[in-house]
Amino acid sequence: MPAHAPAPDAALLLAWYDRHRRDLPWRARGDETPDPYAVWLSEVMLQQTTVAAVRPRFARFLARFPTVEALAAAPWEEVAREWAGLGYYARARNLHATARVVAERGGFPRDEAGLAALPGVGAYTAAAVAAIAFGRPAVPVDGNVERVMARVFAVAAPLPGAKGRLAALAREVGAQAPARARPGDFAQALFDLGAIVCTPRRPACALCPWRGRCAGLAAGLAEALPRKSAKAERPQRFGVAFWLEDEAGRVLLRRRPARGLLGGMLELPGTPWRGEAWGEAEAARHAPAPAAWVAAGAVRHVFTHFALDLRVLAGRVAVLPTEGEVVGREEILSAGLPGVMAKAARLGLRGARASASDPG
């Protein structure tokens, strides 16, 4: 590795953390022993999701599934319903699968290699659980940690190409004796530093315990780091969803295949999603039943790899088809729909309510 700026002092970061650590519901307090289940659950939930969004959902999820054994024993439909709205639904499938593996073996593996062998557990999550739950000398590297390392060491190479070097630098700092003595606190201190001081925009450098060793600050380019390679334009896809209800106000849903995007989640029936818009007659061939379809609006939803424009058509029949699942109109938003389908359902529900209140 090329020569770089001197490593910052891990002891300074830990002293700062002892004064300023965030009080988060999944963190052990005082002399409490960390709960591996809570640590693992929080790390999975926090992937691609903000702390603010996870806080209430973590408490609710833990109340519903208080132990890894309870989660393992729950039917997938209940897990999917509780996860709905958090996005990245492959995480929920892997969460459920991992819970079953852990329950069967009688507990979590205590080292990175064993944790990384669990379904859907990558290098970051394995390192985080090993360090925080089991006190192993591991350094988890997420976006916050990459940003801190890029600035402290003035790494100008752009992401994602610089990821390997930034991870190596984080491990170098984590190899210092104070960090090895408190690996869980050191990992969480890095998270907190990136989240509340070394923020993406307008970092509070004056409050940083590492400001005296920050090569990026000394060079006047801290806020510009880390640099990122230009992103490719996100592809556009189109689809049509059908809100179909019967005279009793019950709505037809279907469950997506277990594998693939939104796997195992409930949705409004609809067309496949493709790169060109659907004509009305063509879309109608994918309708769950013949009906007088009325446009209810459209939603736009951005997934990781593409953006979706989803038109919603609403119709009514005397009797719903037998294929699929049925839920009452007013219970639709508590049925565990993923985010894009919850948006579509709100349009259908708004139209259904308006139709019901129209005396004509």
Three-state secondary structure along the chain?
Answer: CCCCCCCCCHHHHHHHHHHHCCCCCCCCCCCCCCCHHHHHHHHHHHCCCCHHHHHHHHHHHHHHCCCHHHHHHCCHHHHHHHHCCCCCCHHHHHHHHHHHHHHHHCCCCCCHHHHHCCCCCCHHHHHHHHHHHHCCCCCCCCHHHHHHHHHHCCCCCCECCCHHHHHHHHHHHHCCHHHHHCHHHHHHHHHHHHHHCCCCCCCCHHHCCCHHHCHHHHCCCHHHCCCECCCCCCCEEEEEEEEEEECCCEEEEEECCCCCCCCCCEECCECCCECCCCCHHHHHCCCCCCCCCEEEEEEEEECCCCEEEEEEEEEEECCCCCCCEEEEHHHHHHCCCCHHHHHHHHHHHHHHHHHHHCCC
Name the percent of the chain lying above pLDDT 90: 81
Cis peptide bond upstream of 160, omega within 30: yes
Mean pLDDT value across residues 123-131:
96
Check residue 259 and give its pLDDT: 84
pLDDT in tens, 226-238: 999 888 889 999 9
- The amino acid that residue 194 corresponds to is G
Check residue 3 and give its pLDDT: 57
Q: Is CATH 1.10.10.10 the classification given to domain 10-224?
A: no
Check residue 2 and give its pLDDT: 45
pLDDT in tens, 37-47: 999 999 999 98
- State the pLDDT confidence band at 1, using cuts at 50, 70 and 90: very low
Check residue 106 and give its pLDDT: 96
pLDDT in tens, 9-41: 999 999 999 999 999 999 998 788 999 999 999
pLDDT at 49 exceeding the cut of 90 = no
| 1-5, 53-57, 200-204: least confident range | 1-5
Mean pLDDT value across residues 221-229:
94
pLDDT in tens, 143-166: 999 999 999 999 999 999 999 999
Mean pLDDT value across residues 273-284:
94
Q: Are 10 and 178 in contact (CB under 8 A)?
A: yes
Q: Please name which of 158, 189, 179, 153 lies closest in space to residue 168, comparing C-alpha atoms.
A: 153
pLDDT at 127 exceeding the cut of 50 = yes
Distance CA 167, CA 150 (A): 10
Check residue 157 and give its pLDDT: 95
- State the pLDDT confidence band at 193, using cuts at 50, 70 and 90: very high
Mean pLDDT value across residues 337-348:
93
Name the percent of the chain lying above pLDDT 70: 97
Mean pLDDT value across residues 87-97:
89
Domain range summary for the chain, segments of one domain joined by +: 10-224, 236-357
pLDDT at 90 exceeding the cut of 90 = no
What is the topology classification, in CATH, of domain 236-357?
Nucleoside Triphosphate Pyrophosphohydrolase (3.90.79)
Q: Would you call 82 a catalytic residue per the annotation?
A: no
Mean pLDDT of the chain: 93
Check residue 263 and give its pLDDT: 86
Distance CA 80, CA 271 (A): 22
Catalytic residue among 32, 43, 233, 282: 43
Check residue 358 and give its pLDDT: 56
